[in-house]
Amino acid sequence: MPLEKAILEELRRSVGRANVIDSSNDLRIFERDASIEGAVPDAVVLPANTAEVSAVIRVAAKHRIPVVLRGAGTGLSGGAVTIRGGIALQVTRMRRILEIDPIAQTALVEPGVVNQELSLAAASHRLFYAPDPSSQKACTIGGNAAENSGGPHCLYYGVTTNHVLGMEVVFADGSVQWVSGDAPERVGLDLCGVLVGSEGTLCAITKIKVRLLRTPPSVATLLAAFPTIEAASQAVSAVIGAGIVPAALEMMDQVCVGAVEAHYHAGYPTDAGAVLLAEVDGIPESTFELMAAVRSVLAQNQGYAMREAQSPAERDLLWAGRKGAIGALGRIKPNYYLHDGVVPRSKLPQILSAVGEIGTHYKLPVANVFHAGDGNLHPNILFDLRERDVLPQVESAGEEMLRAVVELGGALSGEHGIGLEKSAFMPWVYSADDLDAMRRVKDALDAHGIMNPGKIFPDPERKVPHLAGRTGLAIEAKWW
């Protein structure tokens, strides 16, 4: 529903005429994130600073219009989709790195700063920002904080919430506040802690103070092949069980390796049932000792064709294959549906065989590329949207996979968020009383429910609309 002209005028006064988008063709650009469902916003507003974010939220609060924060739109759970219409608040004009303090080892950034840009900017001080989602070339720190994003190196270094020291946020009434800061303790409740990962449902994030880490002087990266995905899973448990926590421990199955190798020519062994990418870092003595230990454990667990990167360029190539894996899967099918359930690490063999069976049952190819050390799955269900009836099959397969995760004692999402996509499944893991406790937090901080409505909490009125909105129409209209 288009916004009233008077409201659009208020928004234009808040951010300048050029920074409000309301033409229907332009709005369609903002209907999706990297998940499969879409909905067109009523307006897109591009603020330049905190004061403008606050002004826009005050307009929205006055008229009770939904506000949905949006960074790079790389989210995988529908967090940036304006499912109830309203304003898409696009923060990509707020993309300054305000400060890098090499003494305190911190950075202060605006929410639109791209993840990788921060590490590049910190590199001259021999510092880096640890959370490294695979989309780090595009995704924003604001989006990372909203979703509590992870990445391969979170196995050792922790996820976004472990690296956010404080934030400037705008609450649902437009008020601007700093939560937490540089000191290791705060006085009172840890608002920052609950706002990180709240998926835009409690506040807008306008500045983020993050911790930077010293770049380790030595890094060793190993690629190892395994005859089966089960053997690779056992090897993962064995490494951790031996008391070694590598910086990263990633797995790819054969489907994935085939696509990656065809695309990157990184020398991944395409005959293997699965490969592991293991990385350790530290001082030369520790990387040498730890890598020797990792090699030995992998060899005892059917690992073969082990190849250690001999140069930074070779290491980058190995990682390019891992981080670009999902893109490479486009060689197999044009579309993918990706879940990110987490299981206890020891349940990896069981969940991977369940995932395989579900794919076979639905006759859908599945490619696994994931954070094995954390037990964080990423089964990519591959499909072609142009095949008319495939989508309900894809969604059912995804739902069954998540059901299997929960039955093994796991969680619905490790790093992508609940968003739109998994809100209906929340009662699988949380009781009515558990959800009520979360609801109390939501109501206390956003009484009128304008911040990213329709996310996280199960919505009884939602009738699984699948590809509602313009994406669905695009298919109907055969725009492909």
Return the residues of window 400-429 that contact other proteins according to CB under 8 A. Answer: 409-418, 422, 426, 429
| CA distances to 14, 62, 232, 453 from 69, in Å | 16, 18, 39, 11
Comparison of 77 and 90: residue with beta carbon closer to other proteins = 77
Residues within window 300-329 making contact with other proteins, judged by CB under 8 A: none
> Per-residue x/- marks for other proteins, 48-67, CB under 8 A?
--------------------
Residues within window 219-248 making contact with other proteins, judged by CB under 8 A: 237, 240-245
Query: Interface with other proteins includes 174 (CB under 8 A)?
Result: no
Stretch that binds other proteins, among 19-27, 256-264, 305-313, 439-447 (CB under 8 A): 439-447
Characterize the bridge pairing of strands 248-253 and 274-282.
antiparallel
Query: Interface with other proteins includes 343 (CB under 8 A)?
Result: yes
> Per-residue x/- marks for other proteins, 278-297, CB under 8 A?
----xx-xx-xxx--x----
Query: Interface with other proteins includes 354 (CB under 8 A)?
Result: no
CB of 372 to other proteins, least distance (A): 12
Residues within window 104-163 making contact with other proteins, judged by CB under 8 A: 104, 147-148, 150, 154, 158-159, 161-162
d(CA 45, CA 92): 10
d(CA 401, CA 404): 5
Residues within window 455-474 making contact with other proteins, judged by CB under 8 A: 456
Sole binder of other proteins in the list 50, 115, 198, 233 (CB under 8 A): 198
Comparison of 4 and 434: residue with beta carbon closer to other proteins = 434
Three-class SS of residue 162? helix
Residues within window 355-384 making contact with other proteins, judged by CB under 8 A: 371, 374-376
Phi then psi for 21, rounded to 5 degrees?
Answer: -110, 125
- The DSSP secondary-structure symbol of 342 reads B
d(CA 53, CA 74): 21
d(CA 340, CA 159): 15
d(CA 18, CA 335): 34
Cα separation of the two ends of the chain: 27
d(CA 332, CA 145): 32
- How many amino acids of this chain bind other proteins (CB under 8 A)? 85
Sole binder of other proteins in the list 184, 460, 461, 463 (CB under 8 A): 184
Stretch that binds other proteins, among 8-16, 47-55, 181-189, 383-391 (CB under 8 A): 181-189
Sole binder of other proteins in the list 437, 464, 465, 476 (CB under 8 A): 437
Query: Interface with other proteins includes 98 (CB under 8 A)?
Result: no
Three-class SS of residue 126? coil
Residue 377: partners with Cβ closer than 8 Å, 6 or more residues away: 339, 340, 341, 342, 343, 351, 352, 355, 368, 370, 401, 405, 414
Is 232 in contact with 298 (CB distance < 8 Å)?
no
CB of 271 to other proteins, least distance (A): 29
Query: Interface with other proteins includes 179 (CB under 8 A)?
Result: yes
Comparison of 266 and 294: residue with beta carbon closer to other proteins = 294
| CA distances to 26, 225, 373 from 251, in Å | 39, 10, 9
CB of 87 to other proteins, least distance (A): 23
